[in-house]
């Protein structure tokens, strides 16, 4: 009888641990406090533990999404949520153009569409702090920003034109086990233009988030990190309904703590 009870307890414990484990296809990012590029007066930001997709969302995955949610198909998406370039590299609602590969990151997708996709998966877009925190790692270090080679490599990727032949997983995984945060496409974040705000708080809502502005680097903590400057400036120049050739996304998820 004791043996049966022990086995049952072990099974229940395993099921509980598994249910709170990281989601399939995602990497667990252990949070910490860090100073982001935009920080003013050495502002420290706390990032909680979260899960992040190992790869950016692909054309194939997005195709499955629009099949299940037709309102996001190329011909049906409302312009207020996705501009005229939405899925521009797709032949029609359910077909890619010749040369566009199923395993390439989906691009020409608006922030609204990316957010809807993540929600359909029970996930969300990562915050800018989460994305930058995960992306500051190289293959060996959690924070490789002090390495000249790290920034130079990212800049060389940004300077190289992207082609449809770029598929996921071709770049080495970083410290957290995440691929392609650099080297394939820019990626949406949930608060992509929040650094435009110049008040005491980045969450200040009194400024016009629709302004075109490349000054996202104001107050930056590291004037030599040009790669990060480029990301912030790019984010600050777009609007939520824009669909751009080299802009894709991946999803994140909160970590449920065992109580």
Percent of the chain past pLDDT 70, that is, above it, reads 74
**Which residue has better confidence, 164 or 208?**
164
Question: Are 74 and 92 spatial neighbours (Cβ–Cβ below 8 Å)?
Answer: yes
Q: What is the pLDDT of residue 56?
A: 96
Q: What is the pLDDT of residue 63?
A: 97
Q: Residue 256's closest CA among 14, 51, 32?
A: 51
pTM as predicted: 0.80
Q: What is the pLDDT of residue 42?
A: 55
**Which residue has better confidence, 120 or 209?**
120
Model confidence pLDDT, tens digit, residues 105-121: 999 999 999 999 999 99
Mean pLDDT computed over 198-208: 40
Q: What angle do CA 102, 112, 98 make, to 5 degrees?
A: 25
Cβ neighbour number for residue 3 with a 10 Å cutoff: 7
- Whether 38 has a pLDDT exceeding 70, the answer reads no
Q: What is the pLDDT of residue 54?
A: 98
Question: Are 256 and 26 spatial neighbours (Cβ–Cβ below 8 Å)?
Answer: no
Q: What is the pLDDT of residue 188?
A: 95
Question: Are 130 and 29 spatial neighbours (Cβ–Cβ below 8 Å)?
Answer: yes
- Whether 17 has a pLDDT exceeding 50, the answer reads no
Dump the DSSP string for 100-136. Answer: --TTSBP-S--HHHHHHHHHHTT-BPPPHHHHHHHHT
Which of 18-27, 39-48, 141-150 is the most confident on average? 141-150
DSSP strand pairing (186-187 vs 247-248): parallel
Helix H segments across the chain? 2-19, 59-68, 111-120, 128-135, 148-159, 226-236
Three-class SS of residue 27? strand
DSSP strand pairing (252-254 vs 50-53): antiparallel
Q: Domain 2-254, CATH 3.90.1580 — does that match?
A: yes
Cβ neighbour number for residue 29 with a 10 Å cutoff: 25
Model confidence pLDDT, tens digit, residues 3-14: 444 443 433 333
The residues spanned by each domain of the chain are 2-254
């Amino acid at each position: 009888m004791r043996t049966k009870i022990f086995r049952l307890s072990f099974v229940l414990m395993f099921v509980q641990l598994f249910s709170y484990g990281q989601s399939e296809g995602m990497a667990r990012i252990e949070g910490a406090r860090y100073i982001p590029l935009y920080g003013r007066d050495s502002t420290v930001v706390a990032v909680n533990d979260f899960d992040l997709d190992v790869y950016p969302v692909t054309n194939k995955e997005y195709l499955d999404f629009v099949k299940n949610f037709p309102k996001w198909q190329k011909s049906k998406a409302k312009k207020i949520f996705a501009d005229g370039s939405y899925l521009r590299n797709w032949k029609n609602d359910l077909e890619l153009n010749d040369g566009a590969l199923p395993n390439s990151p989906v691009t020409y997708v608006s922030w609204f569409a990316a957010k809807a996709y993540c929600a359909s998966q029970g996930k969300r877009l990562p915050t800018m702090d989460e994305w930058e925190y995960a992306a500051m790692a190289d293959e060996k270090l959690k924070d490789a920003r002090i390495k000249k080679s790290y920034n130079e490599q990212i800049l060389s990727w940004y300077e190289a034109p992207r082609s449809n032949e770029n598929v996921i997983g071709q770049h080495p995984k970083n410290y957290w086990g995440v691929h392609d945060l650099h080297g394939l496409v820019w990626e949406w974040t949930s608060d992509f233009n929040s650094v435009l705000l110049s008040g005491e708080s980045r969450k200040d809502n009194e400024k016009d988030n629709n302004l075109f502005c490349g000054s996202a680097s104001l107050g930056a903590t590291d004037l030599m990190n040009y790669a990060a400057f480029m990301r912030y400036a790019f984010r600050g120049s777009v609007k939520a309904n824009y669909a751009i050739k080299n802009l894709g996304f991946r999803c994140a998820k909160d970590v449920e703590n065992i109580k």
